[in-house]
Amino acid sequence: KVDRKGNIYIVEGYKHSVRKLNSKGEPIWKIGGAGPGKDYKDIPNGSGEGPGEFDYPEGITVDETGNVYVVDSGNDRIQKFDANGKFILAFHKDKEKSFSPEKIIIGKDNYLYISEYSEINQFKSNGEFVASLIKTQDHIVDFAQDSKGNFYILSSEFRKSKKLGKYDSKGEFITELDIPRKEDKPLIIHLASLMKDGIYSATFPVTILTSLLPEVHKARLFTRYPLKEPWQLKWFLGALLIGIVIVGYLLIDTRRRYNKISPRVFWITFTFLLAVIGLPSYLIFRPKGVIIPCPKCTRKKLIYLLPCPYCG
């Protein structure tokens, strides 16, 4: 998750911790951590139930003031922290009822929306339960909300139905959206995010899936293979030139000495040339990630840094 200032929030489930990094990837604070190793889960105090402790945290979101909400899945609760990582409160749906939170977002109305298996619950920022908004027949894998407050739900049955469920802001079912794909292409949904009412999904580094609603902004989604620095191109071209010169010399010298080029020598030199060209090519032109221009401020940012860190 990324806030408006470009700070990055990372949930480390198996390390039972949450980290905050600045836009350069430098650490700001860390909450939680693994236990002493006495428990098979290796969680703090054997349970991770204390303030600022976690038992396999899963989801995270940040509000406009910098408050952080973490889904503490193993403890069936949500923990709230301020922008400095200081514990504020922890809350459940109902102490007398089961609560298994998984994903969390902040809606356009500033309410918290939390999914638990087959339903989405609405909470206030102080942890007060408001309502059970949406109930489905299947496990909710991921969900998001557009600018009009409509919800889009990715369920566990997506692989069979190839449809996303659409609900209004009150939780009423609207329709199912077909996700087109080519039959010979694998369909893997890793995440779903909404930006300018477009539905995006991607796996990294190069498999990209996208579906844009026909009536909305046609944002572009593509992979990019950039040269990171100008010196890299010079280094690559230099290495290529050296490789060609060496291979050319070996072939010419072999031809001059033996009046022919044996297949063995040819393949050795050919393999050498591939190594000289291939390694720099991989280091320089390997996929950098999935990049999408923000429809609002037009700056390009990696899809896993949504929402746009420049304009939110």
pLDDT (tens digit per residue) in 98-138:
788 989 999 989 999 999 888 999 999 999 999 999 998 88
Position 25 scores a pLDDT of 85
Amino acid in the structure at residue 185: K
Length of the chain: 312
Judge if pTM exceeds 0.75: no
Print the domain residue range for 249: 230-285
pLDDT band at 284 (very low <50, low <70, confident <90, very high): low
pLDDT tens, position by position, 70-102: 999 888 899 999 999 999 999 987 765 678 898
Which residue pairs, CB below 8 angstroms and at least 24 apart, start in 154-162?
A: 154/189, 154/192, 158/189, 159/187, 162/187
Does the pLDDT value for residue 304 go beyond 60?
no
pLDDT band at 256 (very low <50, low <70, confident <90, very high): confident
Does the pLDDT value for residue 213 go beyond 90?
no
Mean pLDDT score of the chain? 72
Residue 150 placed within a domain: no
Question: 263-285 vs 230-258: helix axis angle to the nearest 10?
Answer: 180
Does the pLDDT value for residue 207 go beyond 70?
no
* % of the chain surpassing 70 pLDDT: 62
pLDDT band at 39 (very low <50, low <70, confident <90, very high): very low
Most confident stretch, 12-16, 158-162, 285-289: 12-16
Least confident of 93-107, 159-173, 249-263, 293-307: 293-307
Residue 258 placed within a domain: yes
Residue 251 placed within a domain: yes
Residue 160 placed within a domain: no
Residue 241 placed within a domain: yes
Position 69 scores a pLDDT of 97
Q: The tokens of 44 are what?
A: 């703090």
Residue 277 placed within a domain: yes
Does the pLDDT value for residue 255 go beyond 90?
no
Q: The tokens of 93 are what?
A: 């749906």
Position 189 scores a pLDDT of 41
Residue 7 placed within a domain: no
Q: The tokens of 281 are what?
A: 């090519």
Residue 281 placed within a domain: yes
- Overall domain count for the chain: 1
